[in-house]
Amino acid sequence: MLIRKKPYSIKEEVPVVEHRGIFKRQLSFFQTIALIVSGTIGAGILGIPYAVSKVGVSVGMIYVVCIGLLMIGLNVMVGEIVVRTREKLHLVGLARKYLGWFGEVLMTIFVYLTLLGVLVVFTIGEGEVLAELFGGSSFVWSIVFFVIANFLIIVGFNTVKTVEFFLSLGILAIIIIMALYSAPHVDLNNTTYHDLAYLFFPYGVILFAYSSSAVVIEAHSVLKDRDLSYKKAIIIAGLIVMAIYALFALVTVGVTGVETTEVATLGLGRVVGKSMLFFGNIFAVIAMGTTFLIMGTALKDSLVWDYKLSKMVSLLIVICVPFFIFLLGIRHFIQAIDIVGGVFMSVSMLMQVLIYWRAKQLGHLKKSRYNLHHTFLLIAFLMLALSVGAVYSVVKLF
């Protein structure tokens, strides 16, 4: 167990971080869980079945569970740092505080490359899904989505905060509907094969799907009674995400097998029928859209908090850089996810582990309400998995 039960007094002093998050008003415990869930589930879930189908369901499920548990551990570690620091810092600012100028430069490069890459991936995915639903060019639909989503970021995410909880419930409801509706079409033969030639293929795609450090930091700024329930919200949200990913991958691969498409809902809909095509792609639109809003706002906030840029300059970076990258010809969904997840996210997550280790060495995490146990073992597993995965992903590029 990562959590050691230890009684504490409600009066115990714990520094409260007043992050200027994406909401002006605070959210309840369950709304915050919904925020983290919807901020995690995005374009990545649509690539998981394809990655699982390449290596086989048995090995693929091991990836889903093991990476999911490691990411819960990492997020709880990041959460503890957020609770204990007295400053308004995002990941880049935390790297500056604990790893010095060199760590700050590296974190800046990889975190911002990750966030910008995520926005590009979501833009590609939304274009493909909307084109499947309504016809027309995926390129044009990507631009339409990009314009609408960035308009919402410009006017402020407050405009959609009241529906965030219900959008998350909608995602869960659609997955359940998809699973029930697809069950009669599942062929067990599709779940028994495996191909170890693709043993490491799922790593980058699944890691991408689980990445949620940015939204975990954002969640602390909006949670009521954050000192008492922040850690629980992170863990519960992580377990919900893991269950959703496992269910979605099992059902999709069970139906489409080796014919699983890169954007999973496209192939699922073509096999099961028009109703599934509609429900599956509506799910994709909601999942990617809400995550785009949260990640875009997190990127803007980081530029404002950590580098003191004006909101106008931060918005220009959030809007213009991903748009230009997209226009330059980045169009391949899985390849984009694999690069962002396997390389950029692996390195940034390794640095998050180092930040935690440094904060612990400096004594900044003493008397924390988290009471993490066996952190050395968790750190060792994270360092091993992320290092091997990053090296593999870089080698694969060449």
> What is the distance between the alpha carbons of residues 359 and 365, in angstroms, rounded to a whole number?
7
Res 283: pLDDT:
80
Res 216: pLDDT:
84
Q: How many CA atoms lie within 13 A of 190 on its CB side?
A: 20
Query: Is the CATH number of domain 29-397 1.20.1740.10?
Result: yes
> What is the distance between the alpha carbons of residues 198 and 79, in angstroms, rounded to a whole number?
34
Res 300: pLDDT:
86
Res 354: pLDDT:
94
Provide the token pair at 31. Answer: 């709304």
In DSSP notation, 87-131 reads S---HHHHHHHHHHHHHHHHHHHHHHHHHHHHHHHHHHHHHHHHH
**Per this entry, what is the length of the chain?**
398
Res 381: pLDDT:
92
Res 241: pLDDT:
92
> What is the distance between the alpha carbons of residues 8 and 14, in angstroms, rounded to a whole number?
11
For 13, 96, 284, 310, 370, the CA distances from 351, given in Å and listed in that order, are 28, 11, 31, 27, 21
Res 16: pLDDT:
40
Domain layout of the chain by residue ranges? 29-397
Q: Is 210 left (phi over 0), alpha (psi -120 to 50) or beta?
A: alpha
> What is the distance between the alpha carbons of residues 60 and 167, in angstroms, rounded to a whole number?
28
pTM of the model: 0.81
> What is the distance between the alpha carbons of residues 131 and 126, in angstroms, rounded to a whole number?
8
What tens-digit pLDDT sequence spans the chain (398 residues)? 344 444 333 333 333 444 444 444 577 788 788 888 877 887 678 899 999 999 999 999 999 999 999 999 999 888 888 877 756 677 778 888 899 989 989 988 888 888 888 899 889 989 989 998 898 999 999 999 999 999 888 876 554 454 555 666 667 777 778 878 888 888 888 888 888 889 999 999 999 999 888 778 878 777 766 666 888 889 999 999 999 999 989 999 999 998 898 888 888 888 888 778 887 888 888 878 877 887 788 788 878 876 788 889 999 999 999 999 888 877 777 878 888 899 999 999 999 999 999 988 887 776 655 566 668 888 999 999 999 998 988 888 77
Whether 97 and 89 have beta carbons less than 8 Å apart is answered as yes
